[in-house]
Structure 1
């Protein structure tokens, strides 16, 4: 092994998920510069000056896609440090997971030629992302799936107010499995502080009016709502 200090550059990358057209979709950019010019990648870039990692993530999100990080749930995913992950040299990246409800069509900024939403399933099946972004995307997907089991994060994907059916569809799209409507309703409405009834209803052309809910104050889902392990990978959406 080599000795001495490595010259390291620091970057941030973002795995940004939303549910559009009843599919889990991820925001990708077409790279405008080498390496991998013209190839699709996760939004991201270099850490600047006195920035924190989170500040860099929010800035890169705006510069590359014109999306406001204040609209999203944003959390650190993990750090990737494989010496061979970037052909430009030793580049260590910290990835962030960002989630939002039916986010708008992005506009590419100065650092990207194009920015667009793509179904996660298609991206994983094709495996065409630059750098190690396919690995980062899979890690982000598994984090999102796991958090649905024990936190209230699923409601982030719903525009308030929402129905139980709309919330169930979020779970089905992200987990990639169908869920029994009655069982889902029973478990989620009994979870302490998870949902708040609004007392209002949404009418439709068929069936009874659907009760409307808003997000509760509880950050954790108690008891947890566990997915079937054999169905947890690798599909995403329908």
Structure 2
């Protein structure tokens, strides 16, 4: 069958970013308040249109920097563990009232990131607890996300929750050197549950190469000095640490 351009109208490609971090022992997502229509004044995930001369990863990095002042990689070793991966593609024909738009969402995980700075077409930017954005009973109508971003955020959070069961991804929320207690609090924040400290310590130190001692201690969490570790070369936790039923 010959190609008929009228059967394939043009459409745009965007990138949306699910940026997660742990702040004050809570899993938080980066949100921007839309400064333009559609959905002006509502919160949304950072993102925007892909330019004709850039690939998807470059577009994701540019939008993150333009709208929030944050970058996926930082020269500061504290943020060297930032993690970026493609999440999923969203293409409902009516997901954007302006035109047909297909979005390639990305997941970004990093340690306790600083307060964002709004830019581009974002009116403001801030970290919000995930539980409030995903339908907590005490969430306000003003916290409703624009477009289909609640679905995208839900998918990104579930990706993070499932991957830390068996991978070293939780270390992406930690500084370069961290304690087992700090790692445990990441799991607790991402899963929203309390974990037994002794069982957790045994599981994460039981896989060879999963955690590597760095030869120092810290008292930054209070109490007695705790041993410092860094993420090792082992990318899989064996056996997996399954989420408790909640």
- Alignment TM-score, normalising by the size of structure 1: 0.91
Task: Note if contact 1:192-1:221 (Cα within 8 Å) is conserved in structure 2.
Answer: no
Aligned counterparts of 1:140 and 1:10: Cα–Cα separation in 2:
19
Q: Could you report, residue by residue, the CA deviation over 1:171-190 in whole angstroms, capped at 9, with x for unpaired residues?
A: 00101111111100001001
Q: Matches of 2:221 and 2:34 in 1, distance apart?
A: 45
The equivalent of 2:19 in structure 1 is 16
Q: Is 1:135 aligned to 2:151, yes or no? A: yes
Partner-residue secondary structure (3-state), 2:165: helix
Which residue of the other structure, out of 82, 85, 92, is the alignment partner of 1:82?
92
User: Cα deviation per residue 1:91-141 (whole Å; 9 max; x = unaligned)?
Assistant: 000000000000010101122110110111111123600000000000000
Contact 1:194 1:221 in 2 (8 A): yes
Displacement of 1:221 in angstroms is: 1.9
Taking a change above 3 Å as real, the CA distance of residues 69 and 206 of structure 1, as seen in their structure-2 partners, is closer
Q: CA deviation at 1:203?
A: 3.5
Q: How many residues align?
A: 228
Tell me the distance in 2 between the aligned counterparts of 1:206 and 1:18: 22
Q: Partner of 2:178 in structure 1?
A: 162
Residues 74 and 50 (structure 1), Cα distance of their counterparts in 2 relative to 1, 3 Å cut: same
Match of 1:235 in 2: none
Unaligned runs of 5+ residues in structure 1 are 232-238
Of 76, 101, 124, 1:91 maps to: 101
RMSD: 1.6
1:73 and 2:83 equivalent?
yes
User: Which one is further off, 39-48 or 206-215?
Assistant: 206-215
| Closer/same/farther in 2, CA of residues 205 and 129 from structure 1, 3 Å limit | closer
- Name the TM-score, length of structure 2 as normaliser: 0.88
- Stretches of structure 2 that go unaligned for 5 or more consecutive residues are 1-5, 75-81
After superposition, the Cα gap between the structure-2 partners of 1:205 and 1:146, relative to the gap in structure 1 and judged at 3 Å, is closer
Which SS does the other structure have where 1:11 is aligned? Answer: strand
The 5 A counterparts of 1:106-121 are 106-121=116-131
Tell me how far 1:222 sits from its aligned partner: 2.4
**C-alpha distance in 1, partners of 2:219/2:14?**
48
In structure 2, do the counterparts of structure 1 residues 205 and 224 end up closer, same or farther at CA, with 3 Å as the change threshold? closer
**1:26 aligns to what?**
29
Q: Which of the numbers 28, 41, 51 marks the counterpart of 1:48?
A: 51
1:212-223 matches, within 5 Å, as 212-223=228-239
From 38, 42, 47, the counterpart of 1:39: 42
